[in-house]
Structure 1
Amino acid sequence: MKLLYFFDDKLKPITMRGKYYCKPEETGILAEGVSCIREYDVNMWFYTKNGKTIAVDSGHLNFKNIGDEFQKINIRPENINHLFLTHLDTDHGGGIDKSGHNIFPNAHVYMGEDEKKYMTKEIRRKGIFYNCVEIADGWTPISGNMIFDVDGVRVEAIRQIVALKEDTSEYVRKSVGNALRDISKKFPELIKAELSNWKLESKEINQVYKLASKLVR
């Protein structure tokens, strides 16, 4: 078993116990057209319109009894043609890892273009671990605020606030730092985990980091 998958499957549930900064929904149909599957601390999300379903994220590698979870929400994963990955961590991209069972065998994958750097080992998770998730070639890279029309569903990609931490505008950078600091008041562990991934290689990032980490201990 690869190191990150061992951590994801064996150690992470122990280290997260009692912290409550991840609050996944239970598997079920939440609203008209919207459903989800819970896998430990994360969700896979689904949107159905006119009989067509798109998926967001693929969950963990070889998750046990995943077929039972799909039955609960009346979705056949082999019928899903479009899968959007938020990022390539083991608990979001593991479900389509080439080393395991692909739960969406017929889906075309869309993913942020920067995630390729993790597959090619140009960068590491938290600056320490090489990413171990590998997906098949042929996926569509997402950059900026791209808009897709798939199976009659409009999907718009938006940049996360942390993507602006190196913005050329000092006003924008300060706004990002202050926003993250405010979020840390309620979700300190979430912001702490995010900041642990940052490489403090520029004065711009350091400026945002100092603001964002002010209340994090």
Structure 2
Amino acid sequence: MNTIEFFGTTVKPFITKGKKMLKPLETGQIAERIFCIRDKDVNLFLIKTKEAYIAIDTGYKNSENVQRGLRELNIAPQEVRAVFLTHVDLDHAGGVDERCTDVFPNAHVYVGEEEEKYLKAVYFRKKLLCFNLKTPIQIGKPYTCLRDGEVTELDGISIETVYTPGHTLGHVCYILNREILFTGDCLLLNEEGGWSMYDLWNVDTPLNIASLFKLKELVFERHCKLIITSHTGFTMNVGAAFSRIDKVPQWKRKNFAFIKDAPDDLYR
């Protein structure tokens, strides 16, 4: 097993247990034409278009949770015609990993052009001592790279790519129809507002914070109405979503609990 994969599937559940660090949404509908599926600690999202569905991220590889969620939502995997990846960590891009069954076989994949460098081992996800640890994800079918600010029009839906490095060096967010923001892993939400992602998983936390300030300006310029994160739910209070973005939750602190009613164990 790849070292990064071991960390994500074995070490991360141990570290997060009892910390109430994350609280993904339960599988269901969260807004008009927008649905989510919970896969352990993360959400993937499905957007209904005129003719099909668009996915934001894919969950873990060979995930029974994703298959179960699609059945609950009465969505056939073949109906998903496009997948937009926020980044290529295993909990977000596992469903298109060439080592597993493609969760959305008819979908064309989109990824940020800078994030592609992880797929090509130009960038490495972590450094351990003197070893560069590469991402385990490999996309085995043709895909399209997206530039910062690029707008993709699909079946009546507009998706703007926003380059937000820090969690990974190629992380991107997506703005749907100039009003709904999918933040991926750059932003966390709790009762106090929006925060930077935990330093535990960031490549460069100061860079992530800088990206959040850029994102805040863009969101207010676009008059976005809904902010949707990958691990901590959503909010319609756009101001609160960016209220604490210069701060990082101190997860190592004794008796730390980021979200009071979050599950103690997300991986059971």
> Are 2:197 and 1:190 aligned?
yes
Is the 2:195–2:248 Cα contact (8 Å) retained in structure 1? no
Q: What CA deviation, in whole Å up to 9, does each residue of 1:128-169 have, x standing for no partner?
A: 421110002421101111101112211111232759x9xxxx
Change (3 A) 1:66 1:9: same
| Secondary structure class of the residue paired with 1:103 | coil
TM superposition shift of 1:106: 0.9
Is the 2:28–2:35 Cα contact (8 Å) retained in structure 1? yes
Q: 2: distance between equivalents of 1:104 and 1:21?
A: 29
Is the 1:127–1:199 Cα contact (8 Å) retained in structure 2? no
Aligned to 1:103: 103
| Secondary structure class of the residue paired with 2:137 | coil
Task: Count residues with an aligned counterpart.
Answer: 190
Range with greater deviation from structure 2 (49-58 or 152-161): 152-161
Letter matched to residue 140 of structure 1: T
| Secondary structure class of the residue paired with 2:159 | strand
| Secondary structure class of the residue paired with 1:135 | coil
| Structure 1 alignment gaps of length 5 or more | 166-179
Letter matched to residue 197 of structure 1: V
Aligned to 1:176: none
Q: 2: distance between equivalents of 1:158 and 1:106?
A: 25
Aligned to 2:159: 155
| Secondary structure class of the residue paired with 1:158 | strand
Is the 2:112–2:163 Cα contact (8 Å) retained in structure 1? no
Q: Which structure has greater strand proportion?
A: 2
Letter matched to residue 160 of structure 1: T
| Secondary structure class of the residue paired with 2:6 | helix
Letter matched to residue 144 of structure 2: T
Letter matched to residue 101 of structure 2: H
Change (3 A) 1:154 1:215: closer
Q: Which structure has greater helix proportion?
A: 1
Aligned to 2:144: 140
| Secondary structure class of the residue paired with 1:149 | strand
C-alpha RMSD of the superposition: 3.1
Letter matched to residue 116 of structure 1: E
Letter matched to residue 156 of structure 1: E
Q: 1: distance between equivalents of 2:248 and 2:80?
A: 44
| Secondary structure class of the residue paired with 2:163 | coil
TM superposition shift of 1:33: 0.6
Identical-pair percentage: 31
Q: 2: distance between equivalents of 1:40 and 1:215?
A: 21
Letter matched to residue 60 of structure 2: H
Q: 2: distance between equivalents of 1:149 and 1:34?
A: 17
TM superposition shift of 1:186: 6.6
| Structure number, greater radius of gyration | 1
Runs of 4+ with deviation above 4 angstroms = 185-189, 212-217
